[in-house]
């Protein structure tokens, strides 16, 4: 029996999944919640100890006999977060998260220091956007000098969890490519960007060595093994950001594969053997955590949009879906801009949620409910358009994340994007992807062979696009884009 464990530390919770590779089934799946520190200036932070407490809580929920059978561990975590660590491994300040927009000024400062957006793009093949790690480092330097002066290690959340498990500082290209100080084409840290962050000290020395995809970053220490109840010395894979893990967990490891993840944020990503660069900034030119590239669109608002509307009216998920089903495509002209957390694509860090298009006949709760569902898909349709412009033409879409549980949301996605859609049988795609990376690391198989063997789909949840609905969604999407353009000057 080969049991591998996948840890996924997301924004709202940590999940641990144990997968029996011989029987091809999940034998344990548990979670523990996180709190979040939020402020009106756009601050979104968590304490790093909360990650470790949640991991300990998760493993404590798993049968001790099963824990002792685990042969390898993989770690997935939310991207872009900045864990500042001192010389003794101590965390120096709260972890700024991917959804933190308090660093927009630092983005402007860095872009100016580097000579403008075109030069930034030439250095890292990406833009410096709010939410990325680089402006967070500069924010610490400008606003918490005491902590910055003690800074010895710049880690991402998954790097920090790997350090907890192994005692080794490490990084890997997939998650690193979302820092804005990583040269994606050359797959090395960008010394130019690091110098723009601090021209008085070499920040290169604070960054961990890169581990190749498919290799172990280290082995579980005696201390971590005792705390978690797992075997000492088992391998820990290189790990990855949650989007890269979701790519593994949905089989997005071959050219042309496309996955859309509908969690707190919304992401759309596809596998490529070469970089896919978008100078318009819609797609991030990320590396995959399987040895290739993963061009990716990330919006900062997806299920948070429906959660906000549910909270406003006091509905549960079932009730919101029932109401949305009563509204027609396009919501009779009611349009939502789901920029509740600000937004990254389009680059509107000061964005706000908007409901527009009301008149005395269409101001109905069912139209608002459906507008919440449709708006999150329209936000990602722009990414699909970008994929097409850059020569990446998918034929099929895999949908994952919390939004994939909703039948009406699945149908809206398939019809609005005009793609056939599948949903993986194992819904916790990031935790499962982390487990599959651990399996890959602990075997002689390629990641393509691992994915083909273990990623399966739920036939009952698949969708085919309806041609008769195409025109209705095209008109609604055009109206949505018109409102985005109209509101952009207010949100920059």
Q: Per the domain annotation, does 99 fall within a domain?
A: yes
Specify the DSSP class assigned to residue 229. Answer: T
Total count of domains within the chain:
2
Rounded Cα gap, residues 450 and 439, in angstroms: 8
- Do residues 73 and 206 both lie within one domain? yes
- Do residues 191 and 255 both lie within one domain? no
Contacts of 410 (CB under 8 A, 6+ apart): 399, 404, 421, 423, 461, 463
Q: Which of 242, 273, 299 is the last residue of a domain?
A: 242
Tell me the pLDDT tens digit for each residue of 126-174. Answer: 999 889 999 999 999 999 999 999 999 999 999 999 999 999 999 999 9
What average pLDDT does range 435-442 have in this prediction? Answer: 97
- Do residues 266 and 234 both lie within one domain? no
Residue 319 pLDDT > 80: yes
Burial status of residue 367 (CB atoms within 10 A of its CB: 0-12, 13-18, 19 or more): buried
| pLDDT at 298 (0 to 100) | 85
Contacts of 321 (CB under 8 A, 6+ apart): 369, 406, 407, 408, 409
Q: Per the domain annotation, does 438 fall within a domain?
A: no
Nearest to 212 by CA among 171, 254, 162: 171
Q: Per the domain annotation, does 436 fall within a domain?
A: no
Q: How many residues belong to the chain?
A: 492
- Do residues 201 and 255 both lie within one domain? no
Nearest to 305 by CA among 268, 345, 263: 263
| pLDDT at 346 (0 to 100) | 86
Q: What is the mean pLDDT of the chain?
A: 95
Q: Per the domain annotation, does 445 fall within a domain?
A: no
Rounded Cα gap, residues 22 and 454, in angstroms: 10
Which CATH number does the domain housing residue 40 bear?
3.30.420.40
Rounded Cα gap, residues 275 and 198, in angstroms: 28
Q: Per the domain annotation, does 283 fall within a domain?
A: yes
Tell me the pLDDT tens digit for each residue of 185-198. Answer: 999 999 999 999 99
Rounded Cα gap, residues 249 and 454, in angstroms: 9
SS (H, E, C) 287-346: ECCCCCEEEEEEECCCHHHHHHHHHHHCCCHHHHHHHHHHCCCCHHHCEEEECECEECCC
Considering just the CA atoms, what is the radius of gyration of the chain in Å? 22
Phi-psi region of 417 (alpha: psi -120 to 50; beta: other; left: phi over 0): alpha
Contacts of 88 (CB under 8 A, 6+ apart): none
Collapsed DSSP state (helix, strand, coil) of residue 159: helix
User: What H or E segment, with its residue span, contains residue 42?
Assistant: none
Confidence of residue 405 (pLDDT cuts 50, 70, 90): very high
Tell me the pLDDT tens digit for each residue of 78-131. Answer: 999 999 999 999 999 999 999 999 999 999 999 999 999 999 999 999 999 889
Q: Per the domain annotation, does 331 fall within a domain?
A: yes
Tell me the pLDDT tens digit for each residue of 341-382. Answer: 888 788 888 899 999 999 999 999 999 999 999 999 999 898
Backbone angles phi, psi at 20, to 5 degrees: -90, 105
- Do residues 299 and 375 both lie within one domain? yes
User: What H or E segment, with its residue span, contains residue 249?
Assistant: helix 242-249
- Do residues 19 and 158 both lie within one domain? yes
Domain range for 356 is 251-423+462-492
- Do residues 31 and 177 both lie within one domain? yes
Confidence of residue 388 (pLDDT cuts 50, 70, 90): confident
- Do residues 236 and 299 both lie within one domain? no
Phi-psi region of 254 (alpha: psi -120 to 50; beta: other; left: phi over 0): beta
Nearest to 166 by CA among 85, 241, 237: 237
Model pTM score: 0.89
Confidence of residue 277 (pLDDT cuts 50, 70, 90): confident
User: What H or E segment, with its residue span, contains residue 117?
Assistant: helix 117-124
- Do residues 232 and 300 both lie within one domain? no
- Do residues 299 and 197 both lie within one domain? no
Contacts of 346 (CB under 8 A, 6+ apart): 382, 484, 488
Confidence of residue 1 (pLDDT cuts 50, 70, 90): confident
Share of the chain above pLDDT 70, in %: 100
What average pLDDT does range 400-420 have in this prediction? Answer: 94
Rounded Cα gap, residues 278 and 133, in angstroms: 20
Rounded Cα gap, residues 111 and 55, in angstroms: 37
Residues recognised as catalytic? 242
Q: Which of 242, 271, 298 is the last residue of a domain?
A: 242
| pLDDT at 469 (0 to 100) | 97
First and final C-alpha spacing in the chain: 55
Q: Per the domain annotation, does 12 fall within a domain?
A: yes
User: What H or E segment, with its residue span, contains residue 96?
Assistant: strand 95-96
Specify the DSSP class assigned to residue 91. Answer: B
- Do residues 268 and 401 both lie within one domain? yes
Residue 480 pLDDT > 90: yes
- Do residues 233 and 269 both lie within one domain? no
Over the range 71-87, which residues count as b (16 or more CB within 10 Å of their CB) and which as e? bbbbbbbbbbbbbbbee
């Amino acid at each position: 029996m080969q049991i591998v464990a996948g840890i996924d530390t997301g924004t709202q919770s940590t999940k641990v999944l144990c997968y029996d590779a011989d029987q091809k089934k999940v034998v344990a799946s548990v979670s523990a919640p996180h709190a979040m520190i939020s402020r009106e200036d756009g601050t979104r932070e968590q304490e790093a100890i909360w990650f470790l407490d949640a991991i300990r809580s998760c493993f404590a929920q798993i049968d001790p006999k099963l824990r002792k059978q685990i042969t390898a561990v993989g770690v997935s975590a939310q991207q872009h977060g900045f864990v500042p660590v001192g010389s003794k491994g101590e965390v120096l300040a709260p972890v700024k998260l991917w959804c933190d927009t308090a660093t927009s000024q630092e983005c402007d400062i860095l872009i100016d220091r580097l000579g403008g957006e075109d030069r930034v793009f030439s250095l890292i093949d990406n833009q410096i956007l709010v939410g990325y790690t680089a402006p967070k480092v500069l924010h610490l330097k400008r606003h918490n000098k005491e902590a910055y002066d003690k800074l010895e290690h710049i880690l991402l959340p998954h790097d920090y969890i790997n350090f907890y498990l192994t005692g080794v500082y490490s990084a890997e290209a997939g998650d690193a490519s979302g820092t804005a100080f990583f040269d994606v084409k050359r797959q090395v840290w960008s010394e130019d960007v690091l110098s723009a962050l601090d021209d008085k000290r070499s920040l290169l020395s604070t960054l961990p060595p890169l581990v190749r995809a498919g290799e172990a970053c280290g082995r579980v220490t005696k201390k971590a093994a005792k705390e978690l109840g797992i075997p000492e010395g088992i391998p820990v894979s290189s790990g990855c950001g949650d989007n890269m893990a979701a790519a593994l967990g949905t089989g997005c490891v071959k050219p042309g594969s496309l996955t859309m993840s509908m969690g707190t944020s919304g992401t759309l990503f596809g596998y490529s053997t070469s970089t896919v660069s978008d100078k318009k900034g819609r797609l991030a030119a990320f590396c995959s955590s399987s040895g290739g590239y993963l061009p990716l669109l990330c919006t900062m608002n997806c299920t948070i949009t429906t959660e906000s509307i549910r909270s406003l009216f006091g509905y549960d998920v079932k009730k919101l879906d029932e109401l949305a089903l009563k509204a027609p495509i396009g919501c009779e002209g009611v349009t939502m801009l789901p920029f509740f957390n600000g937004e990254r694509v389009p680059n509107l860090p000061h964005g706000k949620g908007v409901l527009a298009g009301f008149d005395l006949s269409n101001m109905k709760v069912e139209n608002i409910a459906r507008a919440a569902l449709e708006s999150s898909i329209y936000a990602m349709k722009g990414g699909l358009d970008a994929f097409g412009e850059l020569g990446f033409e998918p034929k099929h879409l895999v949908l994952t994340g919390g939004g994939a549980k909703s039948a009406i949301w699945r149908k809206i996605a398939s019809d609005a994007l005009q793609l056939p859609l599948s949903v993986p049988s194992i819904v916790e795609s990031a935790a499962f992807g982390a487990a599959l990376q651990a399996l890959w690391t602990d075997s002689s198989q390629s990641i393509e062979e691992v994915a083909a063997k273990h990623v399966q789909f739920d036939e009952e949840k698949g969708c085919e696009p309806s041609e008769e609905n195409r025109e209705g969604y095209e008109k609604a999407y055009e109206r949505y884009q018109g409102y985005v353009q109209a509101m952009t000057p207010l949100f920059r």
